[in-house]
Amino acid sequence: MQIGMVGLGKMGGNMAERLRRGGHEVVGYDRNPEVSDVPSLKDLVDSLAAPRTVWVMVPAGPPTHATIEQLGELLSEGDLVIDGGNSHYVDDQKHGAQLAEKGIGFVDVGVSGGVWGLENGYALMAGGSEGDIRRLWPVFETLKPEGDGFVHAGDVGAGHFAKMVHNGIEYGMMQAFAEGWELLEAADVVKDVPGTFASWRHGTVIRSWLLDLFVRALNEDPDLSDLQGYAQDSGEGRWTVQAAVEHAVPLPVITSALYARFASRQPDSPAMKVVAALRNQFGGHAVASKEGAHAKGADSPGADVAPPREVS
């Protein structure tokens, strides 16, 4: 099958290579001329035979909006666009409606597999019509792992909604491993923390590819001293929590994991400054100042403020 691939970064480039290995003809376009097969998006469209199929793998948000808008002007009725980035499912519904007005099909695909997908295959979660999914099946079959790994999740938007929830679960799993590692490191009783995690890879209910990757990281850096405790979020964790609020579904684990990432970016927590100040005011507890730890005595400012009377 012939397909155009827009965006040849770590994911898009590897996906294009896996498709080529599977016998498909791929024409790739990227803003980086060193990896691009054609000089422009128009040249990519012109190089494809109708009905055309174009897979978009660019960052979510404005880059994806701009690319799909351009494709809407360049493509023709009967052509098909796939968004395989990490777009918000709400944007998919807008893009699908926008392209449908011109007779252009749209499918959203949540893609998981990262840098390992080239060799192992990509888990694919697709949203779109039955006809468009059938048309794309040769591509999906090549990209996915052997056996399972593909779902037609529903109509347009369903693929990225499923991927959003997948990533939210991933946040919670990573946070659980992180907290367990910190506790093992803090306790003197366990002498071999990397070995403990490695022992869990077989025969336990928490064995997983994520655990395998963590053991790999510990083999490279046993105490993680080469890393800074700072974690970004891709946006999908936030969207998962927002969707939970909209649907009144409690997500305490995923929400806590997202907030833990926010906390990791604060070298000095503003909220904890308030907590420290209040503990000092009502209990005279020691606080750590810029100059060092100290405790304010009974004559400290605020110490003579009487507690409020209870009002019934």
Query: Residue written as tokens 């490279």?
Result: 220
Task: Classify residue 125 as exposed, middle or buried by CB count within 10 Å of its CB (0-12, 13-18, 19+).
Answer: buried
Question: Distance (Å, rounded) from C-alpha 153 to C-alpha 110?
Answer: 10
Closest CA to 45 of 2, 85, 101: 2
Cα gap 91→67, rounded to integer Å: 13
Q: 3-state class of 151 per DSSP?
A: strand
Burial class of residue 75 in the structure, from the number of CB atoms within 10 Å of its CB (0-12 exposed, 13-18 middle, 19+ buried):
buried
Extended beta strands in the chain, E state: 2-6, 25-29, 53-56, 80-83, 105-112, 123-127, 150-154, 287-288, 293-294
Cα separation, 95 vs 84, whole angstroms = 13
Which residue spans within 16-87 are E strands per DSSP? 25-29, 53-56, 80-83
H and E: helices and strands count for the chain: 12, 9
Would you please indicate which residues are annotated as catalytic (active-site) residues?
A: 163, 170
How far is residue 310 from each of residues 41, 67, 307, measured CA to CA in Å?
Answer: 70, 62, 9
Question: Measured between alpha carbons, how far is 141 from 1 in angstroms, rounded to an integer?
Answer: 12
Q: Which of 145, 147, 58, 157 is nearest to 110 (CA)?
A: 157
